[in-house]
């Protein structure tokens, strides 16, 4: 189906050179792509190794408890805490960078309704992207910097950086909210041209595909909470009680392995649930950017298909890790890579379009 093209003048007015909207679209897509790339690297090189080391440390703690070795238990749990911090800060960095990208795209969509001067909106856009980058960087460094050279007893410099970046994002959003409040007070006055409205195949595919992904994610979450969540919680308590009762190493090893498999099962369900919903949100947000993607219709459709395909492959094969192990995990990582490639392809298209608009304006 061939769709009617939007006049270039309409798009040029909606995406002027170095405008707040252009900064937010560029920065938002770039943050999402970087966050997903970091997540893929983390899944391949850190996640499974970290889980194995955590299981070994838990085994040491259980054996030490059985031997009534208080010092050994303390040492083992300190190691577990260190491993969990290592994993947690990397997961949080991955999530916060992607979510900052989502936030940037969302703010880009509402720019016509933010009644602030263009200079202020441009400054806010830059600060939002900077905050969205510094926040995950600060979180990532928490594990490595710790409390070194910090004047605070419980907060290190990396935490200060992350918290400051978070505060910067809050300030930016507060000012954006002020602009929106002025819009509603003005009776519908817009500060710049609205986003182009089109009914292209790409936009419809992303909107419908994204909505379906979110629905599937919610359905999976509802099923898990209704039929598996409480069973997992009760089973976890049961295993820990049995682990404390055993006195021989082989029995403890069996319980530790069972506990590890339970944690894996919980993790894959949560990861599949969250990823499919996030990919649905991403597809919906990217649907509004399609008028700015300067690629042939064939390539635009290819990137849409690749993105939606990767959005299905990743959560599906994350779930299948319980049955097929690392093979399914590798395919899931490939699905994430497909989403990254599609994002980069669309970003290149946006860069080409803005270059074309700027060239024609000159």
219 within domain boundaries = yes
Q: Please report, for the domain that includes residue 283, its CATH number.
A: 1.20.120
According to the model, what pLDDT value does residue 95 have?
96
Task: Report the predicted TM-score, pTM, of the whole model to 2 decimal places.
Answer: 0.89
According to the model, what pLDDT value does residue 2 have?
44
According to the model, what pLDDT value does residue 48 have?
81
Using the predicted structure, report yes or no on whether residue 139 has a pLDDT greater than 80.
yes
Least confident of 38-42, 217-221, 259-263: 259-263
Q: How far apart are CA 172 and CA 135, in angstroms?
A: 14
Domain end among 146, 165, 191 = 191
Q: Same domain for 184 and 278?
A: no
Domain span holding position 65: 20-191
3 within domain boundaries = no
The residue-averaged pLDDT of 316-329 equals: 92
Q: Same domain for 210 and 321?
A: yes
Give 14's pLDDT tier (boundaries 50, 70, 90): low
Please count the structural domains in the chain.
2
Domain end among 173, 191, 209 = 191
241 in Cβ contact with 298 (< 8 Å): no
Of 234 and 17, the one with more pLDDT? 234
9 within domain boundaries = no
Q: How far apart are CA 226 and CA 231, in angstroms?
A: 9
According to the model, what pLDDT value does residue 58 have?
86
Give 39's pLDDT tier (boundaries 50, 70, 90): very high
* C-alpha distance from residue 93 to each of 42, 132, 135, 253, 328 (Å): 11, 10, 8, 33, 24
Of 275 and 10, the one with more pLDDT? 275
Q: Same domain for 235 and 171?
A: no
Domain end among 155, 171, 191 = 191
Tell me which range, 6-20, 95-109, 180-194, is most confidently predicted by mean pLDDT.
95-109
Q: Same domain for 134 and 212?
A: no
Least confident of 15-24, 102-111, 247-256, 318-327: 247-256
Give 16's pLDDT tier (boundaries 50, 70, 90): low
The residue-averaged pLDDT of 269-285 equals: 96
Percent of the chain with pLDDT over 90: 64
Give 47's pLDDT tier (boundaries 50, 70, 90): confident
Using the predicted structure, report yes or no on whether residue 157 has a pLDDT greater than 70.
yes
278 within domain boundaries = yes
- Both tokens assigned to 49: 């190794």
Q: Same domain for 169 and 218?
A: no
According to the model, what pLDDT value does residue 274 have?
96
The residue-averaged pLDDT of 207-221 equals: 97
203 in Cβ contact with 290 (< 8 Å): yes
Task: Output the average pLDDT for the chain.
Answer: 89
């Amino acid at each position: 189906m061939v769709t009617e093209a939007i006049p270039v003048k309409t798009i040029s007015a909606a995406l002027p050179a170095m405008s707040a909207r252009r900064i937010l679209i560029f920065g938002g897509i770039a943050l999402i792509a970087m966050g997903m790339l970091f997540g893929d690297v983390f899944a391949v090189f850190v996640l499974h190794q970290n889980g194995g080391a955590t299981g070994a440390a838990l085994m040491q703690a259980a054996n030490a408890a059985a031997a009534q070795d208080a010092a050994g238990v303390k040492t083992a749990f300190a190691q577990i805490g260190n491993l969990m911090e290592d994993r947690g800060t990397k997961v949080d960095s991955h999530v916060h960078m992607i979510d900052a990208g989502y936030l940037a795209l969302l703010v880009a969509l509402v720019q016509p309704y933010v009644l602030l001067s263009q200079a202020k909106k441009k400054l806010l856009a830059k600060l939002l992207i900077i905050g969205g980058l510094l926040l995950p960087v600060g979180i990532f460094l928490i594990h490595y910097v710790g409390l070194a050279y910090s004047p605070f007893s419980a907060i290190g410099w990396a935490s200060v950086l992350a918290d400051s970046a978070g505060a910067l994002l809050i300030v930016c959003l507060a000012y954006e909210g002020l602009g929106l409040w002025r819009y509603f007070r003005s009776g519908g006055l817009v500060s710049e041209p609205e986003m182009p409205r089109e009914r292209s195949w790409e936009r419809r595919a992303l909107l419908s595909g994204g909505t379906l992904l979110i629905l599937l994610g919610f359905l999976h979450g509802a099923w898990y909470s209704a039929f598996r969540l409480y069973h997992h919680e009760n089973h976890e308590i049961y295993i820990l009680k049995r682990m404390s009762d055993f006195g021989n190493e082989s029995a403890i090893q069996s319980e530790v392995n069972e506990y590890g498999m339970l944690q894996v099962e919980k993790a894959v369900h949560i990861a599949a649930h969250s990823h499919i919903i996030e990919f649905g949100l991403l597809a919906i947000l990217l649907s509004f950017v399609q008028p700015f993607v300067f690629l042939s219709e064939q390539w635009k459709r290819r990137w849409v298909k690749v993105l939606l395909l990767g959005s299905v492959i990743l959560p599906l094969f994350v779930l299948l890790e319980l049955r097929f192990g690392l093979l399914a995990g590798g395919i899931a990582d490939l699905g994430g890579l497909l989403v990254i490639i599609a994002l980069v392809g669309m970003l290149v298209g946006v860069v080409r379009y803005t270059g074309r608009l700027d060239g024609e304006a000159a």
